[in-house]
Amino acid sequence: MKYRNTKLITTVIVLCVIALAVVFGLVTYQSVQQGNAKIESDADFAKAKALSINKHDITLKVNKKEVYPSKGKYFMSQNMNLMIPSDVVERSLNCACLNYKGGTVVVIKGNTKAILKKGSDKVKINGSDYTIKEKVIEKDGVIYIPSSLFENYLGFAYKWDNETYTATLTDTALGNALPTRYNYAEEGRLPKVQDQGHEGTCWAYATLSAIESSLLPNENYEFSRKHMIKYCGQINDIKNGGDYGFSMAYLNSWNGPVSDNANGFGKVKKHLQSAQILTPKDQEEIKRMVFKYGGVESSIYLQRAVSADGSPYYNSTSASYAYQGDSHANHDIVIVGWDDNFAKENFPIPVKHNGAFICLNSWGENFGDHGLFYVSYESEAFAEVVVCYTQIEDVDNYDNIYQSDLFGWTGRMGYKNQSSVYFANNYKARSDEKIKAVSFYATEENSDYEVFICENFQDVNSLNARNHVVAKSSFENKGFYTLNLDKAYNVKKGKKFSIIVKAHNIDKRAKLVPVETTTKSMKKKIDLKDGEGFISPDGKNWQSVEKQKCNVCLKAYTDKR
């Protein structure tokens, strides 16, 4: 009897264990199922939230300043990462953003280099592998970088305000935006070394090398220097030399750049839409421009004799140059990098500190270090005129250009004791079109601009009927700028339309109206019948500039309807 009870007890225990196992298994299974449901619910919630956010216009503020993409727009990824167009990264986040063939994207800030691949959430930071929370993507021709890269690896604090749909990025390492050394030859951004021969055409070689570097590493072009020299209307004798103004007039008019081919010259390959004239000798600004955009065209005093060691200012062993003297600049080169630690002992004359800009010359590969040389930060008659070509677009950006200044900005106009001035250009539409953008020269630093459109010009009083501002901007640097309008404005074939600009500068002595006027170096006189230009001190009383033998430098860009 005792044995039978023991057997019964054992059986009961076994059955209980099995029951508990089944119950435990079910509970565990249910818990797993509930966990999966929770995970799925979180993903669905984030996706739904992102979709809701993307129905609104998203604002991005960098260091408290609102910034706008020139192409594409901000959007929130399904992982709740703000996707930032690469041009914003370049312009506003103190980073270089380079697009290489094969899908590689490189973002550099200070001495931190992030190497990414389109379609991947992996990133290599200074040689070590990490993961970011979202993939780098290309959408409608625009590369988007996730905000988590900047938050986690590049020294930015990130915040999102769901009530105002505003993201903020605050740079917590402002003092470390630029690396101590940067060289286009090591970054795949160095164009082919050219040789200008013995003609005074360094300006053309420097300009086109600078533009070629701006397109690298993703696009590799070799533009025709001969075409620029031949079709630049401002110069009648190449032996007399030239300057960046000649180049800008040629480029801004869409005459080039072109490539050479077997039959002579090819078609125009690119459209220059913006170029900035930098503050003279501003080392940090020059570095930022080289870092973000492309090579900076710079003036320098440099005698041809240095290539044969015929100058006390050049050391051929270290390919270094430092000039101290009273001579004026006589040559143009391209700044393609820098080295803050380049030893001062390398220079042929005494300088106080280490450091040099790395420059590309146009005297062939036998000069310097395969065409490159180091110019001391302390060199005189250097970087007194510096230009960076900051916006270069494909030739299909607009269908048509309306302009009256084929020779470019050769003069300025304004009024005494006026901090603001208006200028306008009238054009006759060649077909039914849509005005998409305008461009003009900023003749002074730190100037403000407002743009207006008159779609149906009747007489000079039409310039006073300004309904609202269609574009607005401020420019720290002088230069040539293109502004996109808030929407497309329709014009009809055969009808006149007007572009009107209000310019403002706190200096009442500033002459803010860029004009084209005949100069002694021009091959021929300017055409005063290709537009109707006006200026006004108050936006009410207008004067014709053609009567003063000038054209207003104010262009319009249109697409066909």
Percent of the chain with pLDDT over 70: 89
Q: What is the pLDDT of residue 308?
A: 53
119: Cα within 13 Å, side-chain hemisphere: 2
C-alpha neighbours within 13 Å on the C-beta side of residue 497: 26
Q: How many helices (H) and strands (E) in the chain? A: 8, 37
Q: pTM of the prediction?
A: 0.83
In the prediction, which pLDDT does 184 show? Answer: 96
- What CA–CA distance (Å, rounded) separates 223 from 498? 34
Phi-psi region of 238 (alpha: psi -120 to 50; beta: other; left: phi over 0): alpha
Instruction: Give the separation between CA 51 and CA 79, rounded to whole angstroms.
Output: 11
Strand segments, DSSP code E, in 395-531 are: 400-402, 411-413, 420-428, 433-442, 447-454, 471-475, 478-491, 496-504, 513-516
CA dihedral 412→390→203→395, nearest 10 degrees, is -100
Specify the DSSP class assigned to residue 403.
Answer: -
DSSP string, 418-452: -SEEEEEEEEE-SSSEEEEEEEEEE-SSSEEEEEE
Please report, as a single letter, which amino acid is at residue 149: L
Contact between 293 and 390 under an 8 Å Cβ cutoff? The reply is yes
For 55-79, write each residue's pLDDT tens digit: 999 999 999 999 988 778 999 999 9
CA distance 74 to 321: 46
φ/ψ bin of 141: left (φ > 0), alpha (ψ from -120 to 50), beta (otherwise): left
pLDDT at position 364 is 94
499 - beta bridge partners? 425, 453
- pLDDT recorded at residue 177: 75
pLDDT tens, residue by residue, 177-226: 789 999 999 999 999 999 998 888 999 999 999 999 999 998 999 999 99
Q: What is the pLDDT of residue 233?
A: 67
pLDDT for the residue 24: 43
- The pLDDT, as a whole number, for residue 21 is 45
Report, as ranges of residue numbers, the positions in the chain whose pLDDT lies below 70: 1-43, 174-176, 233-241, 262, 305-310, 521, 523
pLDDT of residue 10: 52
Query: What tokens does 92 get?
Result: 């506003």
Instruction: Return the pLDDT at 240.
Output: 64
CA distance 77 to 139: 13
Q: What is the pLDDT of residue 262?
A: 64
Residue 41: per-residue pLDDT: 60
